[in-house]
Structure 1
């Protein structure tokens, strides 16, 4: 059997195992281990062992539990409740203002957490009931929360970009900076769509009644602004020393986790239950990521040994005669397809051994491609029939919101996200300008 056929068989076996509901790291790791033993005998056992040792020696990996802990502390201590009250008060007089405020809430949650699941949970439990109670269209607000929560994997400190950096061997700091402007661009496009849609059809997002606005004192409005300042202070406390070179990435992540803990204590929100839940969730998510990285590294080592990457590059460029941009577009379409039944981590570790070397060989910037991958993942999260966010929303939404409503709600937001992806692809400097300015590249 040729090496090309072995590579195809490996990939098909892994996809089949994933479709049967096996855990991601188990499916990927099992295929890698069986293939290594079949190809190289007992010597193949060195591959997963080597992957484990590389992971254990990788000092930047310590950032992962730090950022996850920071996000869970801020989430469990319900600091997000204060944020939503702030947006509720200040954006209420604007058509669709509470929906716009929800997008703002998601941006700030993303800057504190780095996981889309946290934004979804907060949006579904805090914003969704309030928006429905105030007469907002259920389909629009369902789409708002799903789209807004997806920003968590693009706006720093994105855990997905940390994972991409580990697999692609790229600087995390540059990837985070590269995600800021595209993340704000996408949030801005969401806000523009919501405002124009509610301006044309005021019934979709009614403004706060005048009597309710008059009942809120100006001093209360000013006090609530502090809720919006807090996450920005935590973010600045973490990022400014790192960007200026005063601290390493790991040290900055520790500062962020400590700042979140101190903020929760000072607000009187840190209880034994909150702390224990945050630690348990951090341990669970961190271990999951570590197992997936080990499996991905083992799988990638076998693929590399087979020469599968060079074979695929030759297929696209020589046999099919495709230009680099066409190959890149096909890659993005494959991500969207896989996103109908896989989460972002699974998609990355499955195709990273193939796509990342291929992108580099085609002459594209791997920092820019990391942003493209993340945006495409956001789109895939919301793509029927089995988009990850669709079922998260179904699990958290009230009974009056059915699966048909959830599917219909994401159509305009997916179109907005595709437009954002096209803009970043056409103008790479949107992603690359900030890291080039900071790092002098």
Structure 2
């Protein structure tokens, strides 16, 4: 039970606000020593038991340098800093502004058109940048004032922006999928290919919801009056294509090279970095200072991810040593009903609840490694299970009270937009995500995925 107590102790410390990487490392060290003392016992006296137990517990960490070295040599994880760098460069080029402006003109005269444009731009940003915070902030700054000007329902407007900004979690190239590819030890290219249809299905569900709401409640998402200064419809289409084609070209270069088998995700991420810099030159926003800032921000985010990974490695080592994995496996394999479906539903519910409180990186490196051997023993397809987890982790960005998208948007909205408006706005989109997730659980063949 030491491993189980360790898990809840870590969760409590995270909720209290301690830094994630240091929490996992410190708790692992403490409970490793406790496990060593319990293992040795006090047959030779209390003091001798404490000394021998301390030596036994600390000896567990002798292999940590080798584990850290294996992380450093992992070529899959090399894609993480490069995709982050690509996304930050594209954010600084003003890609979101150009896309939103063009799409807004194109769909503005349709009821709910600005909201639909926001979803479509969120999809393009997800496939080209994958940086959730940047997408939410950009659309909050640009799209929300337009929706407020034309009297859009505030919860609908804020919910659309938050949900659209999180599409980068499931639509390739996604950092989540790269991390899960490493955890599951499956080719990242397979995960990228499997995630395309679920991601597009989710986009379609968002747009369908907006169309239904705007049809039955016309005042919630009114159309924008026609403005002659925008030019003819054909001119609007041409300007939209001019804004879209560069980002689409980058998406095709990055994802197309992976799907065609020409390049690995790590190699294509390097192509993406070069493509992002070329786009910055094309948009006349390139500068050495911009590259320097993007490099610093990439290092910060990457350091956070790898710091958590090192802490999580220590955690999983102690958790396995104390037999926590055996308790979890026994519990999971003895759930009532069909073993596979019961396991999937229980894990999805557990990850969904944990997503209210902790980040996707912690869940990926702490919870998922415990579940992978059980899923393997039950004969569950690792690709299917990874896509289910990625779809579930996307929801964690929207769920109150700690959904990161909610914080990102709240930081840039006008004072009259209340937090409760944002919370109310994301609820329908959370339900849509859960519905798509359940569809993926029971009908994976619909998305071209085998169980």
- TM (norm. structure 2) is 0.90
Report if aligned partners of 1:106, 1:119 keep a CA contact under 8 Å in 2: yes
CA contact (8 A) 2:136 2:409 kept: yes
| Alignment pair present for 1:283 and 2:299 | yes
C-alpha distance in 1 between matches for 2:291 and 2:334? 56
What are the superposed Cα offsets for residues 404-439 of structure 1, whole Å, 9 maximum, x if unpaired?
A: 111111121111111111111111134554xx8xxx
Partner of 2:6: 10
Q: What is aligned with 2:171?
A: 155
Does the aligned pair in 1 maintain the 2:105–2:236 contact within 8 Å?
Answer: no
- CA displacement 1:146-176 (0-9 Å, x = unmatched): 1111111000000011111112212111111
Asked if structure 2 preserves the Cα contact closer than 8 Å seen for 1:340 and 1:385, the reply is yes
Contact preservation (8 Å) 1:99, 1:194 = yes
Q: Which residue of 2 aligns with 1:387?
A: 403
- Counterpart CA distance in 2 for 1:321 and 1:426 is 15
Instruction: Confirm or deny: 8 A CA contact 1:371 1:431 kept in the other structure.
Output: no
Alpha-carbon distance between aligned partners in 1 of 2:409 and 2:212, rounded to the nearest angstrom: 25
Report how many aligned residue pairs link the two structures.
431
Give a deviation string over 1:161-199, Cα, whole Å, max 9, x none.
111111221211111111111010000000001011101
Aligned to 1:26: 22
Are the equivalent residues in 2 in contact too, given 1:182–1:430 (CA < 8 A)? no
Task: Report the counterpart of residue 442 of structure 2 in structure 1.
Answer: 426
Gaps of 5+ in 2: 37-55
- Please give the alpha-carbon distance, in whole angstroms, between the structure 2 residues aligned to 1:145 and 1:199: 20
Q: 1:129 to 1:214 in 2, by over 3 A?
A: closer
> Is it true that 1:81 corresponds to 2:77 in the alignment?
no
2: CA distance between counterparts of 1:81 and 1:260?
16
Matches within 5 A, 1:310-329: 310-318=326-334, 323-329=339-345
Aligned counterpart, 2:420: 404
User: Contact 1:71/1:112 (CA < 8 Å) preserved in 2?
Assistant: yes
Deviations along 1:106-126, one digit per CA (max 9) or x if unpaired, are 000001122322221121112
My pick for the range that moved more, 295-304 or 122-131, is 295-304
Take 1:224 and 1:393, find their aligned partners in 2: how far apart are those partners?
26
Alignment of 1:59-78 (within 5 A): 59-78=75-94
State whether residues 340 and 383 of structure 1, in contact with CA within 8 Å, keep that contact through their aligned partners in structure 2: yes
The corresponding residue for 1:111 is 127
Partner of 2:277: 261
Greater mean alpha carbon deviation, residues 267-276 or residues 316-325: 316-325
Which residue number corresponds to residue 65 of structure 2?
49
Please say if residues 29 and 299 of structure 1, whose CA atoms lie closer than 8 Å, have aligned partners that are also in contact: yes
* Distance in 2 (alpha carbons) for counterparts of 1:81 and 1:319: 50
Query: What are structure 1's unaligned runs of at least 5 residues?
Result: none
Q: Is the 8 A contact 2:76 2:178 kept in 1?
A: no
Cα distance in 2 for residues equivalent to 1:195 and 1:60: 40
Q: SS of 1:203's equivalent? A: coil
Distance 1:192 1:26, change over 3 A: same
Q: Distance in 2 between matches of 1:348 and 1:147?
A: 21
Residue 371 of structure 1 pairs with residue 387 of structure 2: yes
Task: Tell me how far 1:263 sits from its aligned partner.
Answer: 1.1
Inter-CA distance 214–18: structure 2 relative to 1 (3 Å threshold): closer
For 1:78-227, list aligned pairs within 5 A: 78-212=94-228, 215-216=231-232, 218-227=234-243
Moved over 6 A (4+): 319-322
Q: Max radius of gyration: which structure? A: 2
| Structure 2 Cα separation of the partners of residues 188 and 382 of structure 1 | 18
Which residue of structure 2 lines up, in the alignment, with residue 248 of structure 1?
Answer: 264
